[in-house]
Amino acid sequence: MEFIKKIPAIRWENGKYEHVEEETVEDENIYFYIDFLQPRKFSTYPADLDDFAVGYCLGDGLIKSVDEIVSIEIDDKKVIIKTVNMHTPEIDLESDDLVQEKEGGAKHACACRLLEYQGVMSDSAGGWRSELKTVEPVESDLVVNATEIIENMKRLTAKAEIWQETGSVHVAQLVYGDQFITREDVSRHVAVDKVIGAAAKAGFDLSQCYVCYSGRMPADMLIKVVRVGIPILVSNAAPAGSGYDIAEKGNITMVGFVRGDRFNLYTATERINLDK
């Protein structure tokens, strides 16, 4: 399997130990060069980088649709992304009323508001709490049976080939009717970006999709989902308080602690049919 390495270890069990070789993933620092913005560094499992690029730009509000990407060039550890929006760095002039001319003639507010393209900043950009009021509720008539949630989380585990081999990655799965996209990465955020990007490239209606993944559900993950319009987020782990606030405000159905034949349903509960 690509990007897998063997490392020595000592395995201890019940007072006995042995020298073994374990498999882990070759994670790399990858740099995104998006239009004229400053480079962004990610620690990632370096596969499906084109999906990651699309999903990241959508989830961070840099584009509204995959059609706004002009080109993606992957050069070793560099991913060069050009969009029709010609994003440029904003200058911190510490004044909300100052504007800066952007290439192409568009104007935007300054003062460190770098990722405000759709009005909500992620935790990684800072300040999500101050932007909570700008979250727009997701509209979707998608309804999913409770038993389907259980079965698709089991399917997620079964399809997590790298995780089964190494235990070193997170896994995400996007469900669209009877179609599935699965991606893995050392970062849960990147794994979700990858399935969002792959789904957007495939032309899926994201308002009729949902995501299952491994890992907690904090604000920055929920903001990503709100931005792209996915109505349901499912995890085997816990929600954070910040994630709950965004899910409630954004009308996202948040399902956590999916383990065995049980789960907890937190918000927008009407999208899960608990009787089936």
User: Model-level pTM?
Assistant: 0.81
Contact status, residue 129 vs residue 198, Cβ threshold 8 Å: no
Neighbours of 16 (CB within 10 A): 7
Contact status, residue 208 vs residue 229, Cβ threshold 8 Å: no
Residue 67: what are its φ and ψ, rounded to 5°? -65, -15
Which single residue is written with the structure tokens 């700008």?
134
What per-residue confidence (pLDDT) applies to 85? 92
What per-residue confidence (pLDDT) applies to 160? 85
What per-residue confidence (pLDDT) applies to 159? 87
Q: What is the DSSP letter of 136?
A: P
The torsion angle over the Cα atoms of residues 252, 120, 183 and 195, rounded to 10 degrees, is 70
Q: Strand 262-265 vs strand 272-273: parallel, antiparallel, or unpaired?
A: unpaired
Helix, strand or coil for residue 213? strand
- Alpha helices by DSSP H, listed for the chain, are 49-59, 146-159, 161-166, 188-202, 219-228, 241-250
Return the ∠ at Cα 200 (arms to 188 and 84), rounded to 5°: 105
Would you state the structure tokens that stand for residue 276, as one six-digit string? Answer: 């089936």
Which single residue is written with the structure tokens 């460190």?
112
- Residues of the chain where predicted confidence (pLDDT) is lower than 50: 91-126
Give Cα separations from 45 to 152, 160, 225 (angstroms): 23, 14, 21
Q: Is 152 left (phi over 0), alpha (psi -120 to 50) or beta?
A: alpha
The number of residues making up the chain comes to 276
What per-residue confidence (pLDDT) applies to 268? 92
Q: Cα 24 to the chain's mean position, in Å?
A: 22
State the Rg of the chain over Cα: 20
